[in-house]
Structure 1
Amino acid sequence: MLIPGTHYRLAFTQSVLALLQVINAPTHYRLDYPDLSLILALVRGGSLARASALLKVDVSTVFRAVRRLEAALGQQLFEKSGAGYLPTTLAQTLAEQAERAEQALEAARIGAEQGGEVISGTVRLTCTDSVLQSLLLPALARFMPSYPALTIELCTSNDFANLSRRDADIALRLTRTPPEHLVGRRLADISYRVCASAAYVQSVDSHDLAALTWIAPDDFLPDHPTVAWRRQQLPGVTPSYRCNSMLSVTELVRAGLGVAALPDFLIGDGLQPLTEPLHGYDTALWLLTRPDCRALRSVVTLFDELGLALKLP
């Protein structure tokens, strides 16, 4: 039987040994679990007051503990500034290792409670804000409660650079031709229609598209299918509103400020199509990852769950 608290030290042993390799202190001080908890709390909190709240001790205790630890290591961990306590490179490295060990502890606890193997770890996921709002969040709400030890880091962007730079593990992208160096699944075909709010339609002649007030993506999305369609079909139209995301375009249309070509999954309550799908300007929703990520169980699990949850009719 484990003595209470012993499981914490066992779980942290490998992380602590790894951390000691980055420390070049003349005293050869050996970090322990309370030290790591202190560093992590101060990095997360950014101030003595918030760190003391996380640790459930008073501010003076945190202050003295940091001073003692820096003296023992012979290195500065934090720089005091007007913005609070800023971690040095060493403190940031220690905090990252401590956080991973903390996640491993949580996974072990859940596994012990559930009596089985637990999917754990951090998966970095990137998508556009429109896909996040309309498709991803409802999907995550359905299956993520089954994976309490799995952590997801979300980043909204419009390009594939996140995966190429290894800033992300999984990407949800609207594209006809995903990069060849990525692997994945085509989840659904996506078409676009010109849409407007009911209130706007009542105030204009919606049959003359060129005479309407247009809302469109800005130069941040120069190759967007809706931009290509408008330039081809309505070359004389200059949009009155430009936005750097399709979600913003949709909200302006919903507010009754004009019309825009929107993807199927963003056409919801309060919006009505004015045209049939824009033929030849459709795209697809792709679920993508890097080949090397297929060896990571956390990534594979999330990838498979998203593949099932995001299958569109």
Structure 2
Amino acid sequence: MTSSPRPSAAKTLAWDDFRLIKAVADKRALPAAADALGVNHSTVFRRLGQIEEALGVRLFERHRSGYVATPAGEEMVQLAGRVDDDIHAFTRRLAGQEIKPAGELRIATNDTLLVDLLTPVFAKFLAQCPDIRLDILIGNQAANLSKRDADIAIRATDNPPETLIGRKPARIAWALYGRSADFPGPELPAREALWEHKWVSLGEQFTMLSAVRYLARHVAPERVVYKLNTVLGLAEAVEAGIGIGFLPCFIGDTRPGLTRLAEPDPDLSADLWLLTHPDLRHTPRVRLFLDFAATELARLKPLVEGDRIIGRAEAVTATGAESPA
């Protein structure tokens, strides 16, 4: 009796199979790959065996450290990556063809910008554009706009990704602040005397910030008594009297409990960027938000760039939101 011929791989492989192989390669373990795909471990194990049988080659070597792709498996993973990129590019292009400025807009930023600068801007935008919904993603890691993790990123950086386009409405100024009760006089203290104070600082994971590098160069390590990984917490620490520290002026100048101990240092500043992917630049809701946010942040430029002292109530009014009674 003759055996039936093996079905060709072209007829048996589907896009889901490529996704499965890529997930196994990325996670190096079947349970983790199953979690990423939202299926059972047994389903991944069974389907991997079926794919290898259909192709007639092993796609992975099973090592103690996990699943490692063979040359054939690596080629399949690379193809899956290219297809995945093409799919994301296609969905971005479709999104760019929208006509009506409506739907969900995902914006990635960090908690510092959100709490002390952007929330009133978002509130005013939603009031004027009721057909748009905002989904705000908070984190210090840059969102992958190419993968549509977000439609727009609002970041403080002097080196925005070359793959993105955007606008730069202001440059964020930083200055040295202390608790007002500890520095009641009108005269700015001598910089030499400040080095002997207790200091607060962001941690080593923020060395991309000029202020953190500057402090590390000029302040003895034993004088830095408090480190943390959030600028919001840094402002709270200075206001509590734990120590003096560098803060963005749009935070320090709106807190009555803080006082500037030196004028803003231009070398510590960072550009404020509104970024999006080139494929989304003509999407109505993206274009509408970029125009709106750029205008509103330009109005707040004196606050952001530390050109004048501005109270919190004035800052809220400047964004167009109502100040509390």
**Same structural fold, with TM-score higher than 0.5 when normalized by the shorter chain:** yes
Q: 1:165 to 1:243 in 2, by over 3 A?
A: farther
Instruction: Work out which of the residue numbers 143, 148, 153 in structure 2 matches 1:166.
Output: 148
Q: Which residue of 2 aligns with 1:83?
A: none
Instruction: Work out which of the residue numbers 192, 199, 222 in structure 2 matches 1:214.
Output: 199
Query: What letter matches 2:262 in structure 1?
Result: T
- 1:284 partnered with 2:266: no
The separation in 1 between residues aligned to 2:227 and 2:141, in whole angstroms, is 19
- 1:298 partnered with 2:285: yes
Kindly indicate whether the alpha-carbon contact (under 8 Å) linking 1:210 and 1:237 is maintained by their aligned counterparts in 2: no
The separation in 2 between residues aligned to 1:156 and 1:225, in whole angstroms, is 22
Kindly indicate whether the alpha-carbon contact (under 8 Å) linking 1:213 and 1:259 is maintained by their aligned counterparts in 2: yes
Return the TM-score normalized by structure 1: 0.58
Q: Which residue of 1 aligns with 2:246?
A: 261
Q: Deviations over 1:37-77 (max 9, x none)?
A: xxxxxxxxxxxxxxxxxxxxxxxxxxxxxxxxxxxxxxxxx
Q: 1:162 to 1:245 in 2, by over 3 A?
A: farther
Gaps of 5+ in 1: 1-87, 91-116
Shift of 1:212: 1.3
Q: Which residue of 2 aligns with 1:135?
A: 117
Q: 1:149 to 1:169 in 2, by over 3 A?
A: same
SS of residue in 2 equivalent to 1:227: helix
Provide runs of 4+ in structure 1 moved above 4 Å.
Answer: 235-238
Kindly indicate whether the alpha-carbon contact (under 8 Å) linking 1:192 and 1:261 is maintained by their aligned counterparts in 2: yes
Q: Deviations over 1:245-280 (max 9, x none)?
A: 111111111222211101111112221110122242
Q: Which residue of 1 aligns with 2:294?
A: 307
- The share of aligned pairs that are identical, in percent, is 32
Kindly indicate whether the alpha-carbon contact (under 8 Å) linking 1:193 and 1:277 is maintained by their aligned counterparts in 2: yes
Shift of 1:236: 4.6
- 1:183 partnered with 2:143: no
Q: Which residue of 1 aligns with 2:259?
A: 272
Query: What letter matches 1:288 in structure 2?
Result: L
Alignment RMSD: 2.5
Query: What letter matches 2:292 in structure 1?
Result: E
SS of residue in 2 equivalent to 1:258: coil
The separation in 1 between residues aligned to 2:146 and 2:234, in whole angstroms, is 28
The separation in 2 between residues aligned to 1:169 and 1:237, in whole angstroms, is 43
Kindly indicate whether the alpha-carbon contact (under 8 Å) linking 1:130 and 1:247 is maintained by their aligned counterparts in 2: yes
Q: How does 1:67-216 map to 2 (within 5 A)?
A: 119-201=101-183, 207=190, 208-216=193-201
The separation in 2 between residues aligned to 1:172 and 1:122, in whole angstroms, is 17
SS of residue in 2 equivalent to 1:257: coil
The count of residues paired between Structure 1 and Structure 2 equals 199
Gaps of 5+ in 2: 1-36, 40-98, 303-325
The separation in 2 between residues aligned to 1:274 and 1:162, in whole angstroms, is 38
The separation in 1 between residues aligned to 2:168 and 2:106, in whole angstroms, is 20
Kindly indicate whether the alpha-carbon contact (under 8 Å) linking 1:183 and 1:288 is maintained by their aligned counterparts in 2: yes
